[in-house]
Amino acid sequence: MIPTSEWVIQRVMKPSGFACNMRWQYLPWAGYTHPMTGDQAMRALCECGAHWPTYEFRAHPIDGDMTRFDLPGQSADWTHPVGL
């Protein structure tokens, strides 16, 4: 791991044989989207592998753009209801 980087854990989604988009996708994994050190990321990868052995995970550096790793709806502004 790069010691000066911050990391998040992502689930690796391999393309299915019938998918139109044959690119791999990397989805934020709930509970592991907060920035962590390289050592913490390695422990989190082991933890994810133990809890969800059928899934594949990776540690990915944030590189200063945390918004790319937010879960859907996480950055939404829920303080002002619309249309009520």
pLDDT digits (tens, 9 = 90+) for 33-51: 888 998 999 999 999 999 9
**What letter does residue 36 receive in the DSSP assignment?**
B
Q: 22: Cβ–Cβ under 8 A, 6 or more apart, which residues?
A: 15
**Mean pLDDT score, 4-9:** 85
**Mean pLDDT score, 74-83:** 50
Cross-strand bridge partners of residue 10 = 28, 58
**Mean pLDDT score, 72-82:** 50
| CB-facing half-sphere around the CA of 59: CA atoms within 13 A | 20
pLDDT digits (tens, 9 = 90+) for 8-35: 999 998 877 665 667 788 888 888 888 8
What are the sequence ranges of the domains in the chain?
Answer: 7-65
According to the model, what pLDDT value does residue 51 have?
Answer: 95
